[in-house]
Structure 1
Amino acid sequence: MEREQRRRQRELERQRKEAEWLTELARAELEVAEYENYIELLQTLHKECSESVDWEKIEADPPAKPVSSSQFAELAEAELKNYKPSFFDRILRRTEKKVHQLEKQILEASEKDREAFTLAEQGYKEKILEWKLAKGVLKKEKSKMQSAFKLFPSAFSELEGLGSRVELSVLSRDSVQVNLYVRTSDIVPKEKKSLLKSGKLSTRPLPLSIRNQVYQDYVCSASLRVVREVLAIVPVAAVLLTVYCKLLNTKTGHLEDQPILSSLLPRQTMETLNFEMLDPSDAFENFTHQVNFKKLGGFSPITPIKI
C-alpha cells in the first residue's frame, strides 16, 4: 500500500513541473510544501507496514485450479444467433455487414476468454507456490522462509525507491539477519525552504546538527520499517539488523560501505511499540544496539552485533 507522504510527494512534484503559470506566492508555497513533505517522508518510513501474511490461512485453503471458460464467446454467439435484421437493416442492405460484425465479436470474445484463462493460470501459479511454501514456513524451515521473501518484493519497494538495498538471510528457525544499505547523508537537503511573511520563498542553509538529526531519523525509521516488514512475512522471534552506508575509509581514501547501526530486535518488543507516536531514533533504546552518532559528526563505523 502506497503511503500518503509518497503519494503527496509525487503530486507536489507534478504541480511543480506545471508551476510556470502560478503566481510567485503559489510557487513559493508549493516549494515549501514539497520540502516539508519530503522531510516528513524520510522520518516516517516506520509508520507503515504491509499486512502480516496469514500462513495458517493459506495452508488451510489450497487454491482451486482454474478451468477454461468460453463465457464471453458464448454470449457473443448467442447475440449472433438471436440477431434479426431490423427494417432499416433490410432497407439499407446492411444485414450482411451486421452479421460480419457479430462474427468478428465472437472471435474477439474467444480471445478475451483465452486472456482471462491465462491470467487465472498465472494467479493460480502464484497462489499454489504460496500454498506449498506455507507448510514449510509454519514449520520454520530455513529454506522455505528464505523463499517466502521472494514472494513479497513490494514489501521493501518504498525503501528501495529511496535508494536503499535490503539483503535478507534466515539464520535459524527463530531469527533473520537483515543488512540494510542506506543512502548517505546527501539524501537530506542541505537547504531549508520556508515562506516569509512577504510571501517570498526563503532558502537558507540547514544547520549541520539539524541535518544530521534528520539523517539519523531516516536511518532509524528505515531500519524499523524493514524489521516490521520481515516480521510480517515470516514467523521468526527476532531480527538481527545491521545498517551500512558509504563512509570515508581514511586508510584508503575511498568511500566504502561501513556498518553504522546494529541491533537485535525481538518480535515481542516490536509488538509493544506505538509506531505512530514514537521517535525512530529514540526507539532503539528499547533494544540491544550498537551505534556511534554525534550531532555534528554524524555516524561513525561500529562493530556489528553477532548472535
Structure 2
Amino acid sequence: MLSLPYIQELSQEISAALLSTPEEVEAFRLKYLSKKGIIPSLFDEFKTIGGAEKKTYGKPLNELKKLAEEKFQSAKSTLENKNLTTSSNCDFTRPAHLLSVGSRHPVSMVIEEMIEIFSRIGFTVLDGPEIEDDWHNFTALNFPPDHPARDMQDTFFISKNPDMALRTHTSNVQVRAMETMKPPIRVLAPGRVYRNEAISARSHCFFHQIEGLYIDKNVSFADLKQTLLYFTESFFGKSKIRMRPSYFPFTEPSAEVDVYWGLENEVDYRITKGTGWLEILGCGMVDPNVLQACGIDPNEYSGFAFGIGIERIAMNRYQIPDIRMLSENDVRFLRQF
C-alpha cells in the first residue's frame, strides 16, 4: 500500500475532511491517527523497506502525519471554544456576581481620619516597637521609680526580662523621635498599647492611641490649644472645648480636654452623663525633664504633647455599646462598616 500516489491521495482526503461535530473528530482520529489507523500502519510498513526506498517515502510520510495531527488538533480546539461560548450554563449577558471584599474596621477609619487632619498642619507619622524597655516606656518620660504605673497591676512585663514590657502608651515613639531628630519636631504616633486591666464593656487590656508631639522654639500652651481646637472642629464639627487641669508625669502643666457635645437627644445625655461635655483626650506642655533626658535643651526649646484613645472615639462615633466588639472579629458586626 505504501506508494507516493497513495500518500498524496490521503493528503487530499485529510485536507478535505469536514470535522464539525465531536463524532466526526473522533472518527477522524480513529481512522488516521489511532494505533490501528492508516498512518501508523504506513509507518509500520515503512520500517520493512530498504534504505534507498526510505529516502523516497520518509519525508512524505512525516508531512502526512503532521497534516493529520494539525487537522485533528485544530478541529478539537474549535469545538472546545464553541462549547465554552454556547454552553447552556453560561449567560454572559447576566450581571456579574460581585464578591465581598470586606470593609474598613472602625478603629482603622478613625485613625486614618485623624492622621489626615493633623497632616494638614505639618504632622508626620512615626512608628515604634510594641515591646519596649524601661527607659523609653517610663524613665525618659519622667516616671519616678515608685510611680503606680510601674506596678504589675498596670503593665504587662516580660517575665524573662523584667526591664522589658508591652508598651503602655505610644509615648515611647515620642522619646525615640526626640533622641534621633533635631527640632523642630512635629510627629504623630498611632498604635496599639497594653494595660493590665480587667476587661469589660468600657475597658480592655489592649487598645489604640494616637499621640502627637510638637517641639520648637517658643512653643506655648496657646499653640496647643489652637491645635486641639482645629482638630475638634475638623473631626467632630464642634468649636467649643474646655481644658481641665490634670496630671501626667511627662507634661507640665497638663490638662484633660472636653468638647461641648450638647444635649439635643437621649444619646447626648447618655454619653456626656447629662453634662453636655465629652472628654476626648489628655495633653500638656512637655516637661523640661523629658526634654533634657532626650538630649534637647529645655532652655532653648519647648513643646506640647497630646494623646487620644481611639476606641472611645470610635464607640462614640458609631454608637458601639461594648468595646469588646471591636476585637472579637464578629463578621455580623464588621459588615456594618
Structure 2-normalised TM-score? Answer: 0.20
Return the structure number with greater helix share.
Answer: 1
Higher RCO (CA-CA < 8 Å; seq separation 6+): 1
Structure 1-normalised TM-score? Answer: 0.21
